[in-house]
Chains A and B, each alone.
Chain A
């Protein structure tokens, strides 16, 4: 009797364990099956490389949004990656325990702030600051990059820190023994050894930045056009969806879902990249 119950429960747990597989299959199925017909109707080339997005006149080109997403993500990396890696090295190697006790919660709190609050902060502080001191209307690639740069910091810091801490102590001691300073030992021997972990951190940061919606939407301006400078407003793939989904119908609505498909493909590529980095590390 007990054997039977045990066996039944094993099957129950097995079925429960299938949920993530089912979820991924469902998400893929619904995204692709609802998005691809629209891409076919608009024409793949027209959709991906079209520079004009005017749904009321049947212009569905999302090149400006693809460029917008790539630009704000690149901007976020320029701001977030150097600060994040230096902070990670500091926390893993140079930080006195007393300061670590403060630094660690700081990183966790940054990770916990909801994106809507980042967006609101950006709208009230960053946008006016950019408008008054740097130029343009404020709602811009620059503002979005600053907010996203802060938002990806905790991801980059915590993943890099773990990678740096996993490097064997002997690397560091070897460099010290050869007469290098503490700083040089860490940056020239420990950091290169943690390279794949840091690459994973940056890739995760890219994924977070390119997929962020609400915070970007509140600061990026949302003009569907190719920008000329970082002070111009743009629209990203994510904000295209969230801005127009509320009132879109028919082909317009499907084109927004297709925008989601393009974003989804970007994310899947990033996931693959991440899996590749992890495998190489093992």
Chain B
């Protein structure tokens, strides 16, 4: 009995080490492969040219489109995301039926895969609202997609603000609104910011939701009502053209670095919050 226990303990420990090794190996292999193959190709001629041509497959126009789309999507999702979180934490009473409906729908939203958002965006924004394939339609689609992320992180950040802050502010004669904007929101700012940065990371890496909403046009969008491909879609399109493999690797490096910087920034900002 004792012997058998010892043996299974050893087996379990080995299984854990192997799993940890596999997880680390998967990451290192993917990162290493993309970086090693991609970094030398960053020097591909014209990769960072202002104008896209089918020869240079420049990623600059796509990068500009990405910035435009992300900025627009944030303008749409931040007020709603933060506003909802404020309502849930500062106004709604515990056990409110309405609150549980909001929670259920938010969880539903976070479980919907990006291709469904893409289809919905195509049916609603592109077709029903007649926005056509455009940066605006793409931005609205991903704005809904990242809403749960922004809501959840903001809510957590607001809940982490001690009640004594609110009480002190109210005791000094400030109204509820003033308390929220001058006391609660500023103290919760790092948490909110980290949520927003995470959301940006998700939008930058998104493909399926944008393919049939913002379109795959390779040049810089002339305005928010024009189509334009983001960096991730750009990478997808050139990866399916067999003779641009080198540029695809280079684009992958750029995409990967941007997403990792955003994610690291988010956890760094969030850590700053917990230290206090």
Contacts and interface: CB of A to CB of B under 8 A. Distances in A.
B63 interface: no
Contacts of B27: 106, 109-110
A114 B263 contact: no
Contacts of A180: 5
Contact of A16 (B34, B87, B114): B87
A106 B264 CA distance: 12
Contacts of A12: 83
B114 A213 contact: yes
Interface in B1-59: 5-6, 8-10, 12-13, 15-20, 22-24, 26-27, 29-31, 33-34
Contact of A113 (B30, B84, B175, B235): B30
Contact of B91 (A13, A19, A26): A13
B115 A242 contact: yes
Interface string A241-263: 11001100000000001001001
Given A31-B119, A83-B23, A118 B175 contact: no
Given A23-B147, A87-B16, A264-B116, 11 more contacts: A30-B120, A83-B23, A89-B16, A91-B20, A106-B24, A108-B263, A181-B9, A213-B207, A242-B211, A271-B107, A271-B108
Interface stretch (B188-196, B221-229, B251-259): B251-259
Contacts of A118: 30
Contact of B177 (A6, A106, A214, A260): A6
B177 to A, nearest CB: 5
Contact of A184 (B9, B87, B105, B114): B9
Contacts of B160: none
A272 to B, nearest CB: 9
A9 interface: yes
A117 B248 CA distance: 10
6 contacts: A13-B86, A86-B15, A109-B31, A157-B23, A263-B116, A271-B107
A216 B235 CA distance: 15
Of A17, A108, A246, most buried by chain B (CB within 10 Å of CB) is A17
B206 A114 contact: yes
B263 A112 contact: yes
B112 A184 contact: no
Does more than half of chain B's interface fall in helix, strand or loop, or is it mixed?
A: helix
B19 A23 contact: no
A241 B119 contact: yes
Contact of A13 (B87, B112, B117): B87
B7 to A, nearest CB: 10
Q: How large is the interface on A (under 10, 10 to 19, 20 to 34, 35 or more residues)?
A: 35 or more
A20 B109 contact: yes
B18 A117 contact: no
Contacts of B10: 183
B159 interface: no
A23 B144 contact: yes
B113 interface: yes
Given A30-B128, A121-B30, A211-B115, A13 B175 contact: no
B101 interface: yes
Contacts of A181: 5-6, 9
A59 B112 CA distance: 28
Given A116-B235, A118-B30, A214-B207, A263 B113 contact: yes
A98 interface: no
B84 to A, nearest CB: 4
A16 B30 contact: no
A275 interface: yes
Given A6-B176, A13-B91, A121-B33, A19 B80 contact: yes
A27 B33 CA distance: 38
A184 B18 CA distance: 18
A110 B23 contact: yes
Contacts of B16: 86-87, 89-90, 94
Interface in B200-234: 201, 204-208, 211-212, 232
A183 B8 CA distance: 8
B120 A187 contact: no
